[in-house]
């Protein structure tokens, strides 16, 4: 039997997916076609909903996100996407996900989805239109206010680029009235060709949220991440950034390359594990800028530190009630200063030393690789260990 198959003809790209056809994972798949227009493929029907667009921000904010009910996955295909207006979530439970580790055709192998700003003074991705207006007090157990919380939002597997010549932009502002939204930023690269407006990523008000595998590189900005959540916790894991500006009950930074932590509010605990504080480029004042605030406890395990004449360990007035160091490695360069700013340092402990606080006859688990100890160094050094 000879079977004949007809081929449907549809001249309108607004209703037909000519970039592979068929269904797609998630609710919508956004792709950039050969006519340099953006289309949104409906993964239930296989057709392209909405009018073609040139601005990813307008397409997602005005058309795609309002059409999903929440708990939905919006996939961005590999390739180049321009934003001239903000991508505003405006609702809970949306995942915006790029195509992951592939060649985007522009920057080489990396996140295959590249979102590039084409306008000055915009936020590229934000929680709600209220995010830029959120304000946060500086005292523990106080709350950020001014923006409606949205929950279970995810941004994954993509690159955000502020090219040289674009000014005043913020790649991500997910600030909101303080809540436990469980926001996730995962496997994101931020390319900073021109310095971010203030911080490159703003997460004020986001309790119980996570930054994982975030890389920020390029022109130095004031701060890479600004995260004030005085009634909750901050978690950063396996990331690369220059600076964190923070106020929180507890701060966890693990497996991360970072240059400086600056307090902008009262903070109870900072837990550091497997981090690298070895870089000296950019606007670095010291490894911990107390900025007049009180930090109740620092726990530093398996961390590498580099200090120099211009990069002391502590800078600024303030108080550290308790600090402990175990399995840390140190490189001292030049006439370093441990505490540049006269901060009050109440108890400083070397884990494994005997006694652990001062005058140790048995050194602890920390090792000095090179250089002489800085002025004000609180520990006794024996054969390069303390």
Q: At residue 210, what are phi and psi to the nearest 5 degrees?
A: -140, 135
Q: Compute the distance between CA of residue 59 and CA of residue 259 in angstroms, rounded to an integer.
A: 37
Using alpha carbons, list the distances in angstroms from residue 286 to 25, 184, 235, 313, 316.
46, 29, 21, 6, 9
Instruction: Specify which residues 239 forms β-bridges with.
Output: none
pLDDT for position 79 = 92
Is 342 in contact with 319 (CB distance < 8 Å)? no
pLDDT for position 179 = 96
Using alpha carbons, list the distances in angstroms from residue 249 to 17, 138, 233, 300, 314.
49, 11, 6, 17, 20
pLDDT for position 102 = 55
Is 290 in contact with 316 (CB distance < 8 Å)? yes
Q: Which residue has the tokens 């002025």?
A: 375
Q: Compute the residue count for the chain.
A: 386
Let me know the angle formed at the C-alpha of 188 by 282 and 255, rounded to the nearest 5 degrees: 65
Q: Compute the distance between CA of residue 144 and CA of residue 228 in angstroms, rounded to an integer.
A: 8
pLDDT for position 222 = 79
Q: Compute the distance between CA of residue 289 and CA of residue 219 in angstroms, rounded to an integer.
A: 21
Q: Compute the distance between CA of residue 198 and CA of residue 134 in angstroms, rounded to an integer.
A: 14
Cβ contacts of 90 within 8 Å, gap of 6 or more = 61, 65, 66, 127, 128, 129, 150
Q: Compute the distance between CA of residue 40 and CA of residue 29 in angstroms, rounded to an integer.
A: 6
Q: Compute the distance between CA of residue 229 and CA of residue 248 in angstroms, rounded to an integer.
A: 5
pLDDT for position 125 = 98
pLDDT for position 132 = 96
**Predicted confidence pLDDT, tens digits, the chain (386 residues):** 333 333 333 333 444 343 434 489 889 999 999 899 999 999 999 999 999 999 999 999 999 999 997 788 999 999 999 999 999 999 999 999 999 875 444 444 567 899 999 999 999 999 999 999 999 999 899 999 999 999 999 999 999 999 999 999 999 999 999 999 999 999 999 999 989 998 999 999 999 999 999 999 988 787 899 999 999 999 999 999 999 999 999 999 999 999 999 999 999 999 999 999 999 877 789 999 999 999 999 999 999 999 998 999 999 999 999 999 999 999 999 878 899 999 999 999 999 999 998 888 899 999 999 999 999 999 999 999 99
Among candidate residues 105, 139, 80, the one with its CA nearest the CA of residue 266: 139
pTM, 2 dp: 0.91
Q: Compute the distance between CA of residue 267 and CA of residue 293 in angstroms, rounded to an integer.
A: 8
Q: Compute the distance between CA of residue 229 and CA of residue 232 in angstroms, rounded to an integer.
A: 5
The burial class, CB within 10 Å (0-12 / 13-18 / 19+), for 338 is: buried
pLDDT for position 110 = 61
pLDDT for position 280 = 86
Q: Compute the distance between CA of residue 275 and CA of residue 194 in angstroms, rounded to an integer.
A: 27
DSSP state, residue 374: P
3-state SS, one letter per residue, for 3-54: CCCCCCCCCCCCCCCCCCCCCCCCCEEEEECCCCCEEEEECCCCCEEEEEEC
pLDDT for position 164 = 94
Token representation of residue 256: 């991360």
pLDDT for position 16 = 39
């Amino acid at each position: 039997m000879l079977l004949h198959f007809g081929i449907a003809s549809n001249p309108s790209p607004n209703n037909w997916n000519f970039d592979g056809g068929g269904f797609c994972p998630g609710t919508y798949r956004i792709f950039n076609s050969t006519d340099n227009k953006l289309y949104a493929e409906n993964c239930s029907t296989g057709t392209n909903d909405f009018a073609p667009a040139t601005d990813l921000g307008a397409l997602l904010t005005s058309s795609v996100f309002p059409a999903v009910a929440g708990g939905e996955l919006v996939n961005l295909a590999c390739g180049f996407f321009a934003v001239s207006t903000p991508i505003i979530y405006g609702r809970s439970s949306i995942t915006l996900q790029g195509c992951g580790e592939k060649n985007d055709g522009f920057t080489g192998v990396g996140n295959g989805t590249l979102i590039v700003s084409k306008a000055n003074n915009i936020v590229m991705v934000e929680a709600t239109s209220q995010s830029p207006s959120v304000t946060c007090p500086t005292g523990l157990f106080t709350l950020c206010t001014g923006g409606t919380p949205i929950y279970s939002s995810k941004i994954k597997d993509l690159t955000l680029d502020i090219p040289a010549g674009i000014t005043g932009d913020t790649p991500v502002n997910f600030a909101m009235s303080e809540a436990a939204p469980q926001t996730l930023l995962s496997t994101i690269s931020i390319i900073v060709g021109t310095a971010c407006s203030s911080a490159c990523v703003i997460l004020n008000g986001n309790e119980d949220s996570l930054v994982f595998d975030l890389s920020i590189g390029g022109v130095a900005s004031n701060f890479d991440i600004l995260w004030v959540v005085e009634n909750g916790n901050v978690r950063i894991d396996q990331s690369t950034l220059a600076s964190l500006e923070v106020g929180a009950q507890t701060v966890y930074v693990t497996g991360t390359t970072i240059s400086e932590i600056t307090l902008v509010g009262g903070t109870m605990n900072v837990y550091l594990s497997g981090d690298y504080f070895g870089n000296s480029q950019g606007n670095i004042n010291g490894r911990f800028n107390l900025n007049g605030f009180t930090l109740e406890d620092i726990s530093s395990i398996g961390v590498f530190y580099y200090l120099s004449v211009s990069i002391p360990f502590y800078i600024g007035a303030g108080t550290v009630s308790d600090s402990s160091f175990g399995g840390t490695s140190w490189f001292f360069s030049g006439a370093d200063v441990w505490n540049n700013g006269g901060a009050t340092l109440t108890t400083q402990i070397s884990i494994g030393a005997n006694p652990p606080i001062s005058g140790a006859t048995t050194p602890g688990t920390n090792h000095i690789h090179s250089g002489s100890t800085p002025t004000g160094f609180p520990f006794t050094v024996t054969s390069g260990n303390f």
